[in-house]
Amino acid sequence: MAQTISVNGAPHSVPDDPRVTLLDFLRQDVGLTGTKKGCDHGQCGACTVIVNGVRINSCLTLAAMHDGDEVTTIEGLGTPDEPSALQKAFVEHDGYQCGYCTPGQICSATAMLTEIANGWPSDASETLEGAVEISGEEIRERMSGNLCRCGAYANIVAAIRDVAEQSA
Amino acid sequence: MRPFSYTRARTLTDASQTVSDDRAMAIAGGTNLLDLMKLQVETPSQLADINRVGFAEIEDTDDGGLSIGALATNTETAVHPRVRADYPVLSRAILAGATQQLRNKATNGGNLCQRTRCYYFTNIDQPCNKREPGSGCGAIDGIAKLHAILGTSDQCIATYPGDMAVALSALDAQVQIATSDGGSRTVPVRDFHCLPGDTPWRENVLEPGEIITAITLPAPVGGTQLYRKVRERSSYAFALVSVAAIVELEDGRFSRADLAFGGVAHKPWHDPRVADALIGKAPSPELFDRAADILLEDAQGFGENDFKIPLARRTLHAVLEQAVEEAS
Ligand SMILES: Cc1cc2nc3c(=O)[nH]c(=O)nc-3n(C[C@H](O)[C@H](O)[C@H](O)COP(=O)(O)OP(=O)(O)OC[C@H]3O[C@@H](n4cnc5c(N)ncnc54)[C@H](O)[C@@H]3O)c2cc1C
Ligand code: SF4
Ligand code: FES
Ligand code: FES
């Protein structure tokens, strides 16, 4: 019985060794190296991907646990010729220096826009009900799982805010 | 990671049978277990993936309460309309923990069973009675900033690090457990976690083969519900001290004061004498001090964490002041 994981729409078979994390599977088995390994312990967010529409840290989950799931990585969000709105905004706002955290930042922010559209509150939200007000504070709290060693935070928030306000 | 075999449990019986072997473990979100397996703190020979056995629903109970599945994620729980409306302290506590990515994967059962963040426990080169019984406790005379001030033992001074369970303790929620013989039992959250005593390796009352299926919340209690978490930065850090509070006033006097504390002990700390001291009395700084005196009567610091004693007092004051303001 072949077990497969869909990555950016294409099926790939689940690795035999159960120790392979989703992150190592994406980078080594599938060959998509956009997703980065920063800490390998759920602390930095560099490995953030979107699984069944929800953002997670791919380093703290096993590939074997994702049989039948749909994974979207940075490569699935846009291409250099046709970047996504957030990819474009990161370029326009200089939302990076070395770029190592950027794929994780953009995957995270992509899913965050859906969470805001769904009206999910955050720790920074005044109330638990109603539409989420887009503010710097909301974006910083919601993006707190994505660290940037270069400290490009101000421009990262500006890029996300731009797209969030346009899509609101 | 050490090699292990992986099976996906199809039914609860399946899962329960697998984890009856004491070298096997259940894996849910994996956000705590895999972290510890990479550090070789946990070395199971077998993992039973319980993600597809069900128990992910959040549904009303017959008595007007709510049952939240053990396999529902922290996010699904925090954003559920009934949790937001009727148990806001639970939404707030979950949202104050970890990050969105982690909460999206973390399950309610796994969250209850998450292990301490003591640095000696997570470093296999250090002595730790919890990880290696009899090897000593590195923290007692060492780095103990995160450690407990209440209910410690000379074997272990670690804290239970989670936020969600602190709110569940204030709400007096119940843990539903499937036993290895196919039966079930219910344990109040307040009794689910253990004090370290002479058995610091034992963090909760689960027996081999037991699986948490759900957490049940009582019918809505109303009141003003707050979760206040004090940490070293404003987001994404474990609690130094936290307080979950459900407070109600009638004619200017406390009629309800269910408080639970995080970051201070090996379990969410609930001391019924605190409510007894507050109920029937009008709020005042002196009253809050009396409540703090009772709470912290036996508190003991270990050097680096001495600050937690005054911090717990101040946090108790702050949360009660805010609750009174919001309730009036
Ligand atoms: C960087 C980082 C920061 C964090 N910050 C916070 C924070 O601020 N506040 C906070 O509260 N938490 C925090 N966490 C911890 C996080 O909340 C837990 O890792 C998570 O809740 C564990 O859930 P899980 O489903 O992933 O558990 P798993 O890792 O799958 O399992 C954990 C344990 O529970 C057992 N288990 C799981 N489900 C069941 C079940 N149904 N029945 C019986 N046993 C079961 C497993 O066998 C294992 O021993 C943080 C984690 C990380 C990595
Ligand atoms: S406090 Fe507990 S967990 Fe930490 S080193 Fe001591 S025994 Fe181990
Ligand atoms: S590599 Fe996964 S969070 Fe850092
Ligand atoms: S751009 Fe270098 S780590 Fe963020």
Q: Identify residue B111 by its one-letter amino acid code.
A: N
Statement: residue A1 has pLDDT above 60: no
Q: Which residue of B has its CA nearest to A66?
A: B51
Element (H, E) at B262: strand B253-262
Q: Please, what is the average pLDDT of chain B?
A: 97
> What are the sequence ranges of the domains in chain A?
4-76, 85-167
Adjacent-strand bridge partners of B26: B48
State the architecture of A85-167 in CATH terms: Orthogonal Bundle (1.10)
Statement: residue B286 has pLDDT above 80: yes
Which tops the pLDDT comparison, A64 or B237? A64
Kindly indicate the confidence band of residue B236, based on its pLDDT and cuts at 50, 70 and 90.
confident
Using one digit for the tens of pLDDT, what is the confidence trace for B181-223? 999 999 999 999 999 999 999 999 999 999 999 999 999 999 9
Kindly indicate the confidence band of residue B16, based on its pLDDT and cuts at 50, 70 and 90.
very high
Radius of gyration of chain A (CA): 16
Instruction: Choose among B51, B101, B236: nearest Cβ to A108.
Output: B101
d(CA B41, CA B35): 9
Kindly indicate the confidence band of residue A2, based on its pLDDT and cuts at 50, 70 and 90.
low
Q: Is residue B159 in contact with ligand 2, taking CB distance under 6 Å?
A: no
Q: What is the CATH number of domain A4-76?
A: 3.10.20.30
Contact B26, B113 (CB under 8 A): no
Closest residue CA from atom 38 of ligand 1: B110
Read off the DSSP letter of residue B221. Answer: -
The pLDDT value recorded for residue B259 is 98
CB of A55 less than 8 A from some CB of B: yes
The pLDDT value recorded for residue B194 is 98
- Residue whose entry in the numeric block shows the structure tokens 């569940």: B168
The pLDDT value recorded for residue B35 is 98
- Residue whose entry in the numeric block shows the structure tokens 């326009």: A92
CB of B278 less than 8 A from some CB of A: no
Name which of B294, B327, B286 is nearest B312 in CA terms. Answer: B294
Q: Which residue of A has its CA nearest to B47?
A: A18
Q: How far is B115 from chain A (nearest CA, A)?
A: 15
Angle value at C-alpha B39, between B101 and A100, nearest 5 degrees: 45
Instruction: Choose among B5, B88, B105: nearest Cβ to A18.
Output: B5
Name which of B66, B65, B86, B83 is nearest B74 in CA terms. Answer: B83
Share of residues in chain B with pLDDT > 90 (%): 97
pTM of this prediction exceeds 0.95: yes
Q: Which residue of B has its CA nearest to A61?
A: B30
Using one digit for the tens of pLDDT, what is the confidence trace for B102-154? 999 999 999 999 999 999 999 999 999 999 999 999 999 999 999 999 999 99
Q: Is residue B77 in contact with ligand 1, taking CB distance under 6 Å?
A: no
Chain B CB contacts of A56 below 8 Å: 101, 104-105
- Does the distance separating the beta carbons of A122 and B102 come in below 8 Å? no
Kindly indicate the confidence band of residue B49, based on its pLDDT and cuts at 50, 70 and 90.
very high
Q: How far is A58 from chain B (nearest CA, A)?
A: 9
CB of B28 less than 8 A from some CB of A: no
Contacts of B152 (CB under 8 A, 6+ apart): B196, B265, B266, B300, B302
CB of B36 less than 8 A from some CB of A: no
d(CA A92, CA A83): 12
- Residue whose entry in the numeric block shows the structure tokens 């894996």: B27
Mutate to test the interface with B, among A144, A146, A153, A160 (most CBs of B within 10 A): A144
* B147: helix, strand or coil: coil
Name which of A80, A84, A82, A90 is nearest A72 in CA terms. Answer: A84
The pLDDT value recorded for residue B234 is 80
Name which of B50, B30, B48, B35 is nearest B1 in CA terms. Answer: B35
d(CA B85, CA B326): 16
Kindly indicate the confidence band of residue B252, based on its pLDDT and cuts at 50, 70 and 90.
very high
Kindly indicate the confidence band of residue A111, based on its pLDDT and cuts at 50, 70 and 90.
very high
- Does the distance separating the beta carbons of A144 and B99 come in below 8 Å? yes
- Does the distance separating the beta carbons of B105 and A61 come in below 8 Å? yes
Give me ligand 2 centre to Cα B154, in Å.
10
Domains with residue ranges and CATH for chain B:
5-48 (3.30.43), 224-327 (3.30.390.50)
Q: Characterise B325 by phi-psi region: left (phi > 0), alpha (psi -120 to 50), beta (else).
A: alpha
Q: Please, what is the average pLDDT of chain A?
A: 96
